[in-house]
Amino acid sequence: MEASFEVTLQMAIAVFAGIGAQVLAAYLRLPSIVILLLLGILLGGDGVGLLHPQVLGTGLEVIVALATAIILFEGGLNLDLRELGKVSLSLQLLVTLGTLITLIGGSMAAHWLGEFPWNIAFLYASIVVVTGPTVVGPLLKQIKVDRQVATLLEGEGVLIDPVGAILAFVVLDTIVNGDADPVNAIVGLVMRLGIGGAIGAAGGYFMSLIFKRANVLSTELKNLVVLAVLWSLFTLAQMIRSESGVMTTVVAGAVFANSSVPEERSLRSFKGQLTILSVSVLFILLAADLSIASVLALGWGSLFTVLVLMFVVRPVNILCCTWKSNLNWRQKLFLSWVAPRGIVSASVASLFAILLTQRGINGGDSIKALVFLTIIMTVVCQGLTAGWVAKFLGITSEQATGAVIVGCNPLSLLIARFFQERGENVVLIDTDPDCLAQAEAQNIRVIASSALDGEVLDEAGLGSMGTFVAMTSNGEVNFVLAQRAAEEFNPPRVLAVFPRDPANGSANHKVSQAFVSDLQIKTWNEYLNDGRVKLGTTTLSESDFASQQEHIQDKIRNGVLVPLLVEREERLQIIPANQEWEVGDRIIYLLHDSRPNLLKRLSGASQSTPLVLEKLPEVEEVPLTKVPQLSTSDASLS
């Protein structure tokens, strides 16, 4: 009873500490792995001594194996083959040539600087060729770099994990068995990748069939069936060829995710929660088992080894693998900076330390210490600075420009013109050939198709655009289109013209109402067609900010003014209904001109007169009754 209770206590502490670290990281907005590592070390033998992972015995290896399967499967689920196709050559090179560059460069650094024998140096380098998807994924969600860079980093992290893990085991097998024949090593690597890939592809297809056809099963039960099948596939692959299971899990996830499975969102949510739990527990346990003394005993040479890996080997890797890509120097520099190692490196290093010790080969503890030093330095250094570097280089998705507009009508044409005049890409999507002809006459790019088709949005280039707005005459359709665009492409700004309470609820944080709540878009399109509007601009000043805002909001409530765009820090954006205005904002709006058409003709205006952007006295001159607080001097100025 005492032994079983000790194991239970260790697991309970690990789970509580892991989830607590995740909560603290979310609160502090830091990469969770930083808190997990620090807390794990603090709770371990070199800290307060609450956690002793060695008590778990071989159970620790089982936990590592099954948790890694979940983590890599979830990574495979996030692979978008359509997006990967855009960076396929660079990604292929990163997984192949990049692996070779890191293997050679890392082993040379470990041998010459860290003074490790060549066999241990190669083993270290084979472990750290991987970048951690469990670190890269949350990091990219936090800093939101542009889609092309994010896709490349996520794809590299997920695909290189099985390659690196299998490569590490091949190197270990070579060291343990004394077989230095490179042909056997290459054959072993290819065999594991092939067997794992084949089993994963078949298993992923089988999982998709379960979700598509097993209608008698509830969604919750389907999720658990997939988990059971996943672990079975992993075990089967391991039985056929050791260490091929890691490839199986990635391929199974990728095949499942790209099989158009209904209710896939629920599985993603379930697997995402399991991944957070797995990562939390593993990092706490593995960090608690780390000896700080062994890290300090490595000396300065090992520190220089990691620095060379970060600042020499990685940039050379990126430069060689993206040489012929369309990435600019800013994107390449960011890719060179971000390559944090994660849970796969930590788990493989911990397992290797045990295996080498069992075989009586020196260097197991040193390898584990050096790998954890690499994880700590890359995660802390790159993880904490990646957001600042991305902003400095100007490659965050928030800085993306251009717009994809669904619905070709007078209002959308007007907005498209503003983006076009700023030199930004703009694409209109609609099925009405007459409306699209008007857009083409103004040299605006159009796509005559339905925006419900993800391939159409991909053709429009939404992956690299800053704004998506759905503004057809059907509010419910607009909301659905915006939801799908947000889920599949995740552009920085997703807006739609929809009712206050759409069928699916308006609490979706990814989709904002465009312009104003409950915009009568048909009415304003009629106003534009009939020439019953003026196009105005006003800049919010510090002295009259409150009065200006109140005056404009009053006209919005009366239904005579619709704010369209805001220019802030020299960037033009579509105004959401919940926009918080700031001093210095330049607002571009439409004002309803209620004068009869006959009176307007007599005053020289005509229906065909193009709208001119101007300061309108109806908005610029704030009535004194609205601003009782103004001083006499201020009032005389107005």
DSSP-assigned states of every residue in 514-525:
BSSTT--HHHHH
Q: How far is it, in rounded angstroms, from Cα 119 to Cα 174? A: 9
Q: What are phi and psi of 134, to 5 degrees?
A: -75, -15
Helices (H) and strands (E) in the chain, counts: 29, 10
Amino acid at 183: V
User: What is residue 599's predicted lDDT score, i.e. its pLDDT?
Assistant: 52
User: What is residue 336's predicted lDDT score, i.e. its pLDDT?
Assistant: 95
Of 46, 111, 40, 56, nearest in space to 367 by CA: 111
Q: Which residues pair with 505 in a beta bridge?
A: none
Tens of pLDDT, residues 158-197: 888 888 888 888 888 888 776 667 777 788 888 988 999 9
Helix (H) or strand (E) holding 42: helix 32-43
Cβ-count burial of 49 within 10 angstroms (0-12 exposed, 13-18 middle, 19+ buried)?
exposed
Tens of pLDDT, residues 338-363: 999 988 888 888 888 878 887 888 88
List the chain residues with pLDDT less than 50.
Answer: 1, 503-507, 606-608, 624-638
User: What is residue 141's predicted lDDT score, i.e. its pLDDT?
Assistant: 74
Helix (H, G, I), strand (E, B) or coil at 467: strand
> For residue 575, what is the DSSP state?
P
